[in-house]
A and B are shown apart, each in its own frame.
Chain A
């Protein structure tokens, strides 16, 4: 697949004329690189689209990649990177798919010693570098999106039990509680009560969007279990809309101590511990 040396050639025309063998070769190289994790058919479909978007901008050296004539290409690469992230490919593997086209095109023009062609190839190389870096950027952006999604879910999973004072534990519940998570948190709290010998536990639900009967049931069970262990639970941060919902559901919190805020709950617990919190006048 080489061209007659000596004849002045335009790289765009050359690539258009050799589109089929070029794509074929490119797919082959990348398929080998990815060791079968993408089928040739999948790659071919992607690369055909890429190639079609690329042809009109061959001749550019990639410095104007933010421009309007690159809109299609940028959109394609963004989507390509997105699908690669989701499929578990590394950024290097993704960018390499783009860089691989260089070698294939270089091979095609191997025997050309036309200085004109050489200059075009240099520009093309710059263009593909810029496009490869673009996939890196898209890749990073998409990965950030995914991480953000996951950390939101994680936040719901990791609810810390903290010791706020000698003898007083607090656990802030955050986000959307499902029964499994509430149960885990409640178990952790009971364990921590034993470990630390604390007699007070504050369960703060300021960050909870909704309390349904199952979450309430876990709360009630925890309070009863804690009581059997000689500890008192205080539920704080019941916002007005949650209070109204709990009442409408018909849930009875009985003689459980509830406080408007975590601070109120702490003050209550400390008083029970025999600690008096007074504001001191600083002269």
Chain B
């Protein structure tokens, strides 16, 4: 395991391998923060979905991962940034089973269910930022 890190860490997402790397980084943080195994798996899976969306639909970008605290409990926050086309219809994108490509259409909606906090910031023509947080129970 890499040494415990201070502050946010960023990784580029420009190829398939990067998705694996982002997933491993999120996993390291989840373990450091001592999230339960179920919560680790949920967060890592959400990260996998969002990183892949950044790659496939956002045309690449980067991920930022950090340990956070709300004063009472610790958590892990991961955000996924791209300067791609943005999402024109959020309701549609967040609907179970809808994909503009050939996916299962469960990445965004599923990721939302897997985490405690889910923020989606998107603008057509400018890009998308999705931020997820999982708190330690």
Name which residue of chain B comes closest to A217, CB basis.
Answer: B104
- Residue pair B42, A248 in contact (C-beta under 8 Å): yes
Q: Which residues of B contact A179 (CB under 8 A)?
A: 16, 52
Smallest CB separation, B57 vs chain A (Å): 13
Pick the contact of B19: A178, A248, A250 (CB < 8 A): A178
| B88-110, CB < 8 A from A | 96-97, 103-104, 106-107, 109-110
Contact of B45 among A180, A211, A217, A240 (CB under 8 A): A211
Chain A interfacial residues counted at CB < 8 A: 21
Q: When A and B form their complex, what is the total count of cross-chain residue pairs whose Cβ atoms lie within 8 Å?
A: 71
Closest to B52 in A: A214
Interface centre among B16, B40, B106 (most CB of A within 10 A): B106
Residues of B within 8 A of A217 (CB): 103-104
CB of A178 within 8 A of CB of B20, answer yes
Q: How far is the CB of A43 from chain B (nearest CB, A)?
A: 31
Q: Is the CB of B106 within 8 A of A250?
A: yes
Is there a chain A Cβ closer than 8 Å to B17's Cβ? yes
Is there contact, CB below 8 Å, between A241 and B106?
no
- Across-interface contacts of A212 in B (CB, < 8 A): 45, 48-49, 52, 107
Selected A-B contacts with CB under 8 Å, 28 pairs: A176-B20, A179-B52, A180-B16, A209-B41, A210-B23, A210-B44, A210-B45, A211-B45, A212-B45, A212-B52, A213-B49, A213-B103, A213-B107, A213-B110, A214-B103, A216-B104, A240-B38, A241-B37, A241-B38, A241-B40, A241-B42, A242-B41, A244-B38, A248-B42, A248-B113, A249-B106, A250-B97, A251-B106
A residues neighboring B (CB under 8 Å): 176, 178-180, 209-214, 216-217, 240-242, 244-245, 248-251
